[in-house]
Amino acid sequence: MLPHENNPNKKTKLSHSDGEELVHLWNHCFNCGSAPILGLRYECTSCPAGPDNDLCEKCYEKFQKGEIQHPREDTPAAAMDIKTHHFNPVQGKPARLYEKWLQIPLPAVPAPQVPDHFVVRPIFCSGPDAAIGGYAFLVAAAGHHSPLLLTALHVMDEMIKKKGFDCTDNNKNYTGREMPGAISEVQFYDVFAANWMMAPLGTAAPMLVLPNARRGDEEPCSHRDIAAFFVKNPGALNPAPLAQKTPGVGEPVWLAAKLPGEATIRTQAAVVVEKTGRTFVFRFEAMESERPKYTSGAPVLDKKGEVVGINVGGGFFRGQRLGHANHVENIRSHLSSC
């Protein structure tokens, strides 16, 4: 067990509001598995962003008594030798805000084809240091001669923390040049191969300077969660176009990722339930048992197979599975800012 303490900067008294059901839609408790977390949530801000950082109130009490191991042995955080784990208490949001997301029907539309050599698994390299990320994908973006490799910025969080950068809003001096200066190369692999580590597809560098990209916004605000790289050797790759427009509420979208145990099906259908300047939320047809894991950075597609978002997070509400993404209007605005 590693030593731990609360962040002294965050001692605000958090109270349960009267009789209202408060939920953390986008978080599950890594110890007891409750999803969503109800009431207070305790989030470790020392570990890289990921699904193993949140505890419900009851499990946090157990953690304080030394009854729960954190980080778990099989997580990237365990290998990082983090001396102190700061857990911040966070209050939930009223469940009534999300009821409307369950009412929107999913249209029956055939899934788009996901070609080979488009969806990839990235390894971020900084000199001798390397960190595996979730997903990334290749796009043909207007104004750029070579394809770009896109992912969510928080997918790089292990490397961000190794380098000691703060890419959140807390750092008012952040310019977007910090990580591009540190990343020597991204190696990317075929995520659909039987053994992805044996299926290298290419390399990308340098990282684009995106001055408005940030990690750590409160979910489901994903409008700033983006990282992009120039692809060095685009020969055998299949970059997809960026869609003209993000689909609206009630329209279908698909997450493209490797499904558990499936070699041939590459998409999971969802319906858009909310779209604003800051977020893009969708509800899946498939349930927990079919959920592909660690899909941050995977592409979200429209019915033509064009990219409408970068997958950023997922959660559960009343047994239904939800996801949120950084949508294409935001992607375009980031890419035109550099």
Distances (CA, A) of 24 to 29, 138, 220: 10, 32, 11
Distances (CA, A) of 297 to 4, 229, 267, 324: 30, 13, 14, 11
Q: Is 44 in the site for Zn ion (CB under 5 A)?
A: yes
Out of 25, 40, 47, 139, the only residue in the binding site for Zn ion (CB under 5 A) is 47
Q: Is 141 in the site for Zn ion (CB under 5 A)?
A: no
> Count H helices, E strands: the chain?
4, 21
3-class DSSP state of 307: strand
Q: Which is nearer to Zn ion, 9 or 173 (CB)?
A: 9
Q: How far is the CB of 176 from Zn ion (least distance, A)?
A: 26
3-class DSSP state of 101: helix
Contact call for residues 184 and 311 (beta carbons, < 8 A):
no
Q: Is 32 in the site for Zn ion (CB under 5 A)?
A: yes
Contact call for residues 27 and 44 (beta carbons, < 8 A):
no
Q: How far is the CB of 307 from Zn ion (least distance, A)?
A: 33
Candidates 45-53, 137-145, 154-162, 330-338 — which segment interacts with Zn ion by CB under 5 A?
Answer: 45-53
Out of 27, 46, 151, 295, the only residue in the binding site for Zn ion (CB under 5 A) is 46
Q: Which is nearer to Zn ion, 39 or 200 (CB)?
A: 39
Distances (CA, A) of 203 to 40, 117, 140, 225, 294: 42, 13, 16, 22, 21
Q: Which is nearer to Zn ion, 25 or 119 (CB)?
A: 25
Q: Which is nearer to Zn ion, 53 or 268 (CB)?
A: 53
For 297, how many CA atoms within 13 A lie in the half-sphere containing its CB?
Answer: 31
Place of tokens 């990237």: 76
* Contacting Zn ion within 52-71 (CB under 5 A): 56, 59
Out of 25, 26, 27, 31, the only residue in the binding site for Zn ion (CB under 5 A) is 31
Q: Is 29 in the site for Zn ion (CB under 5 A)?
A: yes
Q: How far is the CB of 233 from Zn ion (least distance, A)?
A: 37
Query: Rounded to an integer, what distance in angstroms lies between the CA atom of residue 256 and that of residue 253?
Result: 10
Q: Is 27 in the site for Zn ion (CB under 5 A)?
A: no
Query: Rounded to an integer, what distance in angstroms lies between the CA atom of residue 214 and that of residue 302?
Result: 25
Residues that contact Zn ion, how many (by CB under 5 A): 9
Q: Is 49 in the site for Zn ion (CB under 5 A)?
A: no
* Contacting Zn ion within 83-102 (CB under 5 A): 85
Q: Is 237 in the site for Zn ion (CB under 5 A)?
A: no
Residues that bind Zn ion (CB under 5 A): 29, 31-32, 44, 46-47, 56, 59, 85
